[in-house]
Amino acid sequence: DGGITQSPKYLFRKEGQNVTLSCEQNLNHDAMYWYRQDPGQGLRLIYYSQIVNDFQKGDIAEGYSVSREKKESFPLTVTSAQKNPTAFYLCASSILADRPQHFGDGTRLSIL
Amino acid sequence: GESVGLHLPTLSVQEGDNSIINCAYSNSASDYFIWYKQESGKGPQFIIDIRSNMDKRQGQRVTVLLNKTVKHLSLQIAATQPGDSAVYFCAEMRTGTASKLTFGTGTRLQVTL
pLDDT in tens, B48-77: 999 999 999 999 999 999 999 999 999 999
Mutate to test the interface with A, among B88, B99, B102 (most CBs of A within 10 A): B99
Paired sense of beta strands A10-13 and A43-51, if any: unpaired
Mutate to test the interface with A, among B93, B103, B107 (most CBs of A within 10 A): B103
The yes-or-no verdict on residue B5 having pLDDT over 60 is: no
The yes-or-no verdict on residue B6 having pLDDT over 70 is: no
Note the Cα B66 to chain centre separation in Å: 11
Question: A111 and A13 in contact (C-beta within 8 Å)?
Answer: yes
Least CB–CB distance from B106: residue in A42, A60, A92: A42
Helix (H, G, I), strand (E, B) or coil at B28: coil
The yes-or-no verdict on residue B99 having pLDDT over 80 is: no
- Report the DSSP beta bridge partners of residue B12: B110
pLDDT in tens, B19-29: 999 999 989 99
The yes-or-no verdict on residue A7 having pLDDT over 90 is: yes
| Min Cα–Cα distance to chain B from A38, Å | 9
pLDDT in tens, A59-99: 999 999 999 999 999 999 999 989 899 999 999 999 988 89
* Other Cβ atoms within 10 Å of B80 Cβ, number: 22
> Taking residues A9-22, what's their average pLDDT?
92
| pLDDT grade for A1, boundaries at 50, 70 and 90 | low
CA distances to B66, B85, B88, B93 from B71, in Å: 8, 26, 18, 13
The yes-or-no verdict on residue B2 having pLDDT over 90 is: no
